[in-house]
Amino acid sequence: MRTIFWDDGVVMVDQTLLPERFEILVCKTVHQLAEAIKRLAVRGAPALEAAGAYGIALAAYERDFNDLVEIKKHIQDAARLLASTRPTAVNLFVGIERALKAAMSGDSIEEVRKLALQEAERIAEEDVERNKKLGEYGAELIEDGSTIMTYCNAGRLATVDWGTALGVVRSAVSQGKRVKVIACETRPLNQGSRLTCWELIQDGIDVTLITDSMAGIVMQKSMVDCVIVGADRIVRDAVFNKIGTYTVAVLAKHHGIPFYVAAPRATFDWNRSMKEVTIEERSRDELIYCGNRLLAPENVRVYNPAFDPTPLDLVSAIITEYGIIREPYSENVPKILEL
């Protein structure tokens, strides 16, 4: 089943409830979708690309309009609302922009609706195809019997289907390779323990959960052959991914373990540098509560950035649907991706 799709509204797996409950959430308005994005019911950069695009289609269908001017104005307002939900994953903006451009080229209310939805469906299809391609390329890097560490969730749930980092794992497994995964829990929202472990167990892939603070010891004990993570935005000097990725990359470098990033072309924002990217800061409650239980004094000062930049010199290779890109990135990224 796809993580996000269109069926008279934007339909998604509600990721906040996993692994306790598997529930489907249907957003019938752009406001509902914006809330779903903010509270991470849908999350992961490629899934956000589809969500942004479907959001534009939703704006076109969510109510009646008197004329072309009115529907286009409503869609532009919706694009601004969707773009204000989360700042770091560039794919969200790519999805919004593509569907917006398609919608704006329509000459009637019906055509605007059709074009917006067509583009959103195209983006969703493309995501599945590019993840399969990326997975095939990435699987070349995986030897039979490997143990792969991953961080956060860059799997089916973070994309429309298949996954990026976990897409590589799935492709290697489907080629008959025996692969084991070590999943870091990924505090504070535990995408690793809740989502990565859940989806790998669903697929019968061998997974072991560790806390983020155990990443060092498993590398020291030679229990990891390589690390593969996804990305929210790749700029010319760094890869932005879930907070804690940078720490794992430093550890991997120290232990001589390859650190791979798996991401589609749409995740590249090559004209920008690390300093120009806004890192989302999230609620203090994510650190001081576990459900209703206090984990820290309620009045403690909290710093809760959701992403960190890993400098590109810590990255052994970037796995894309166009092939595997290695250093020098300043030359090879624009050449291979035609950016």
Taking phi over 0 as left and psi of -120 to 50 as alpha, with beta for the rest, 291 belongs to left
Strand partners, 12: 4, 25
Q: Which stretch binds ligand MRU (CB under 6 A): 58-66, 67-75, 158-166, 295-303?
A: 158-166
Please provide residue 177's backbone torsions phi and psi, each rounded to the nearest 5 degrees: -80, 145
Catalytic-residue membership of 232: yes
Q: Which stretch binds ligand MRU (CB under 6 A): 6-14, 151-159, 293-301, 330-338?
A: 151-159
Q: Are 60 and 71 in contact (CB under 8 A)?
A: yes
Instruction: Tell me the closest approach of the beta carbon of residue 34 to ligand MRU, in angstroms.
Output: 15
Window 223 to 262, contacts with ligand MRU (CB under 6 A): 230-232, 241-242
For position 159 contacting ligand MRU by CB under 6 A, the verdict is yes
Nearer to ligand MRU, 102 or 235 (CB): 235
Query: Could you give the CA distance from residue 123 to residue 2 in angstroms, rounded to a whole number?
Result: 13
With CA atoms as reference, report the closest residue to 246 among 264, 269, 229: 229
Nearer to ligand MRU, 89 or 181 (CB): 89
With CA atoms as reference, report the closest residue to 151 among 218, 220, 85, 88: 218
Instruction: Tell me the closest approach of the beta carbon of residue 106 to ligand MRU, in angstroms.
Output: 31
Please provide residue 82's backbone torsions phi and psi, each rounded to the nearest 5 degrees: -65, -40
Instruction: Tell me the closest approach of the beta carbon of residue 337 to ligand MRU, in angstroms.
Output: 17
Nearer to ligand MRU, 9 or 46 (CB): 46
Please provide residue 53's backbone torsions phi and psi, each rounded to the nearest 5 degrees: -70, -45
Catalytic site residue from 144, 232, 237, 308: 232
For position 191 contacting ligand MRU by CB under 6 A, the verdict is yes
Quick one: which of 306, 314, 318, 324 contacts ligand MRU (CB under 6 A)? 306
Nearer to ligand MRU, 173 or 231 (CB): 231
56 Cβ contact partners less than 8 Å away, ≥ 6 residues apart = 75, 78, 79, 82, 96, 99, 100, 103, 116, 119, 120
CA 189 vs CA 5, 101, 235, 311: distances in Å: 24, 34, 25, 24
For position 18 contacting ligand MRU by CB under 6 A, the verdict is no
Nearer to ligand MRU, 72 or 265 (CB): 265
For position 183 contacting ligand MRU by CB under 6 A, the verdict is no
Classify residue 149 by burial, with Cβ atoms within 10 Å: 0-12, 13-18, 19+: buried
Nearer to ligand MRU, 46 or 52 (CB): 46
Q: Which stretch binds ligand MRU (CB under 6 A): 39-47, 119-127, 137-145, 310-318?
A: 39-47
Residue whose structure tokens are 């990725």: 245
Residues that contact ligand MRU, how many (by CB under 6 A)? 18
Instruction: Tell me the closest approach of the beta carbon of residue 245 to ligand MRU, in angstroms.
Output: 7
Taking phi over 0 as left and psi of -120 to 50 as alpha, with beta for the rest, 120 belongs to alpha
Quick one: which of 44, 55, 106, 244 contacts ligand MRU (CB under 6 A)? 44
Supply 335's token pair. Answer: 């050449």
For position 152 contacting ligand MRU by CB under 6 A, the verdict is yes
Q: Which stretch binds ligand MRU (CB under 6 A): 1-9, 97-105, 154-162, 200-208?
A: 154-162
Query: Could you give the CA distance from residue 8 to residue 29 in angstroms, rounded to a whole number?
Result: 11
Q: Which amino acid is at 257?
A: I
Contact flags string 78-107 toward ligand MRU, x per CB under 6 A: -----------x------------------
| Residues designated catalytic | 232
Residues binding ligand MRU (CB under 6 A): 40, 43-46, 89, 152, 154, 158-159, 164, 191, 230-232, 241-242, 306
